[in-house]
Structure 1
């Protein structure tokens, strides 16, 4: 498996999301994050940073890239819905856990699969080979 520099840089905000979520589960209060809505907001912001670092190459071009883009869009939309609808109850915590899981799945599709050999972009053939 080979990771490039964008994979490593994009992993940092995702790891921050996961560590903050684990801290939220264990202690219920993470610095700057006091409730599930704060955790969702942090997840949305850090997830967008990770997506911006990965760029278009991770989310388009090949079928795998389009699938990753779709997963990212679903994760973002789900995060916005959770942000608007969740509260401090059990439902809020379940939705928060599902949202964090969707971020991790999107990260795995964007970073782990290409590092394992699934190409991010389709190779273009030159006109001479057509």
Structure 2
């Protein structure tokens, strides 16, 4: 009986190890959104870097150019950095107080920040 229990635990650990490796290979990268309209254009980039275990560093870079009388005005750029932890059960990346929550969809190459969808580039 103890032999079967040990084999079951070993199989579970191996499965989790492979599962973790898949996440570490798929989640990190650069995710982008681009919007263009009558009043200007905007781009939004999330860069996700694996730190250790289920911890990740996220950098959000946001840029925009307003349009006035048909001409684009100067660029406006903003950057924000935070660290987060991945919940394997839900695919939610959360962490520091006041940091945005991200939702990662494993079967696609998308990350969601609120209702905004970011597509993976690399």
| Greater share of strand | 2
Normalization by structure 2: what TM-score? 0.30
Normalization by structure 1: what TM-score? 0.29
Q: Which has the higher contact order (CA 8 A, sep 6+)?
A: 1
| Greater share of helix | 1
Larger radius of gyration: 2
